A and B are shown apart, each in its own frame.
Chain A
């Protein structure tokens, strides 16, 4: 019914969107893997990062990609502080409490942005926003191709950091056995906050990758957060490779179901996958430990 070219374009588009989804899920799964918490404020934090890019572009004329110099350290510091000062003390380490505290954070961030920016949808104009590159007979959006390479680079850097650096080793130690890590002198509270900061920093990168082609409004994070949860559950909670593969897979599913069923029903496909995986294979499709 569709020509192979349309299908191929849809798949490639899905892979490109999926790479940004993967980056968002990467932050979520990292936090889950180490702190064993589900961060409900992840979507709202992404919205805040997107608004930061928007404001930096509007007020200081910064290109969205250049804005990363400001937003990445900024969001890292914010994530560090929020875990250290709010989530840690308020949740007393209880699973249900953490869920509610991060929900509270999400409500605060989303509505503070609503009060400040109102519910208008905004976007930024960059000269390369609609640039395309030609590959054979296909036209690919330049900002989205850039996104794919940046995501791969970030994933590689993150992997190197976790595998090689001392802090990375400490993070892995805390993820495996926090009492043991504390006994050998690792400051668990600090490592928790660093991990949370890294998760937020991933969102800063994602925001810069999204802004050239996406819109932003105070509720946009909700559109991403369930998708990110789906990817994390699909790839196996806490698995970085799972988040990458899951992100690309979900991107393609969304793109193809959007093509066959229309935009709004396309989202249902994702949620149904989410429900089915949770109900029947909560350890994820890629077999990571629960």
Chain B
């Protein structure tokens, strides 16, 4: 029983999230929920490297896009079943992570330099995907509609919600397990003080490369789910800066280096974002593009400035004060 306790809170949250599509049957709300879960999953990937490992990537689009394009291309060009393509796509995303990580960390890039080089890699991927024939170039790539669970497409949105939730839940349980193992301790040691970690015998380079590889695999999985949900990709969707930003915003707002941070952050951000958009639209009688993102930017600055451990940090600070 005591071995299960650290995972109990995660299971409770998953149970709550699983009920949502039963409570909300509107298509718009269900699509919103699935999209938010996918962002939360991409955020879990970023959080492993950025939150636990302290390496801030500005280019997680490289992994998201590789996962998304890989599953789409394997299906459409090679006729593979998407359930078979999924592990291959995740593996390719992990490979991209391992290569970028090996190059960047071997060159001892840290802080801003690491952020810049990941951003540049994502841009190289984006431009390449925009001209290559295999990705459909600027026209993009469509996954043919064939609603069948065996084909990773579901007529019922609730089912897609639960499938996404299974992936998110598995990743959360995995990260919780890693947290309590040597790997998690080493990763946090690297974040807190790289030189001290090295002095204590931690193979810093290996820990960082392992972290970015796993981080990339998780974010690539989010990309696969995105492709299967929306069935269309172009270079701006798959490798565009938007997903790099989403993946880092969710954990930072929710709580860096915590299992719940990315999920909380994704729901808070997109909840507030949707509310503001609707509110502005009713107020001005027309949609105002970008207002939700302006708000995200403000929240990012406020969080960094005043709540460095995100919403979860604020909550635990309040609890300490109340006690």
Q: Is B160 an interface residue (CB 8 A)?
A: no
Q: Is A141 an interface residue (CB 8 A)?
A: no
- Chain A's closest residue to B302 (CB) is A90
Mark A90-114 against chain B: 1 for CB-CB distance below 8 A, else 0: 1110011101110111111011111
Please determine whether B289 and A108 come into contact, CB atoms closer than 8 angstroms. Answer: no
- Chain A's closest residue to B287 (CB) is A115
Please determine whether B291 and A111 come into contact, CB atoms closer than 8 angstroms. Answer: yes
Identify which of B64-72, B109-117, B142-150, B196-204 touches chain A: B109-117
How many residues of B sit at the interface, in one of the four size bands? 35 or more
Interface residues in A, total, Cβ within 8 A: 45
Please determine whether B112 and A119 come into contact, CB atoms closer than 8 angstroms. Answer: no
Please determine whether A100 and B120 come into contact, CB atoms closer than 8 angstroms. Answer: no
Identify A265's interface contact among B127, B245, B288, CB under 8 A: B127
Please determine whether B109 and A271 come into contact, CB atoms closer than 8 angstroms. Answer: no
Q: How far is the CA of A99 from the CA of B104 in the complex (A)?
A: 18
Identify A226's interface contact among B123, B128, B305, CB under 8 A: B123
**Cβ contacts under 8 Å, B245 to chain A:** 103, 107
**Cβ contacts under 8 Å, A222 to chain B:** 241
Q: Assuming A264-B127, A265-B127, A275-B124, is B298 touching A104 (CB within 8 A)?
A: yes
Q: How far is the CA of A272 from the CA of B120 in the complex (A)?
A: 8
- Chain A's closest residue to B301 (CB) is A104
Q: How far is the CA of A230 from the CA of B124 in the complex (A)?
A: 13
Identify which of A46-54, A161-169, A181-189, A277-285 touches chain B: A277-285
How near does chain B come to A91, taking the closest CB pair, in angstroms? 7
Instruction: Tell me the interface secondary structure of chain A in the complex.
Output: helix
Please determine whether B290 and A114 come into contact, CB atoms closer than 8 angstroms. Answer: yes
Please determine whether B131 and A278 come into contact, CB atoms closer than 8 angstroms. Answer: no
Please provide the chain A residues from 241 to 281 with a CB less than 8 Å away from any CB of chain B in the complex: 264-265, 267-268, 271-272, 274-275, 278-280
Mark A213-229 against chain B: 1 for CB-CB distance below 8 A, else 0: 00000100010001001
Please determine whether B301 and A275 come into contact, CB atoms closer than 8 angstroms. Answer: no
Q: Assuming A108-B297, A278-B117, is B289 touching A118 (CB within 8 A)?
A: yes
Q: Assuming A108-B294, A268-B124, is B109 touching A279 (CB within 8 A)?
A: yes
**Cβ contacts under 8 Å, A147 to chain B:** none
How near does chain B come to A84, taking the closest CB pair, in angstroms? 14
Please determine whether B294 and A229 come into contact, CB atoms closer than 8 angstroms. Answer: no
**Cβ contacts under 8 Å, B306 to chain A:** 90
- Chain A's closest residue to B252 (CB) is A100
- Chain A's closest residue to B296 (CB) is A107
Q: Is A86 an interface residue (CB 8 A)?
A: yes
Q: Is B56 an interface residue (CB 8 A)?
A: yes
Q: Is A38 an interface residue (CB 8 A)?
A: yes
- Chain B's closest residue to A222 (CB) is B241
Please determine whether A105 and B297 come into contact, CB atoms closer than 8 angstroms. Answer: yes
Please determine whether B130 and A264 come into contact, CB atoms closer than 8 angstroms. Answer: yes
Identify A38's interface contact among B116, B120, B121, B290, CB under 8 A: B116
Q: Is B58 an interface residue (CB 8 A)?
A: yes
Q: Is A89 an interface residue (CB 8 A)?
A: yes
Q: How far is the CA of A210 from the CA of B284 in the complex (A)?
A: 34
Q: Assuming A86-B301, A115-B294, A264-B127, is B111 touching A95 (CB within 8 A)?
A: yes
Q: How far is the CA of A89 from the CA of B305 in the complex (A)?
A: 7
| A contact set with B: CB distance below 8 Å | 37-38, 86, 89-92, 95-97, 99-101, 103-108, 110-115, 118-119, 218, 222, 226, 229-230, 233, 264-265, 267-268, 271-272, 274-275, 278-280, 282
* 12 other A-B residue contacts (CB within 8 Å) besides A108-B301, A110-B290, A271-B123: A37-B112, A92-B305, A96-B54, A99-B115, A100-B248, A114-B289, A115-B290, A115-B294, A118-B289, A226-B119, A267-B127, A275-B103
| B contact set with A: CB distance below 8 Å | 54, 56, 58, 103-104, 107, 109, 111-113, 115-117, 119-121, 123-124, 127-128, 130-131, 241, 245, 248, 252, 288-291, 293-294, 296-298, 300-302, 304-306, 308
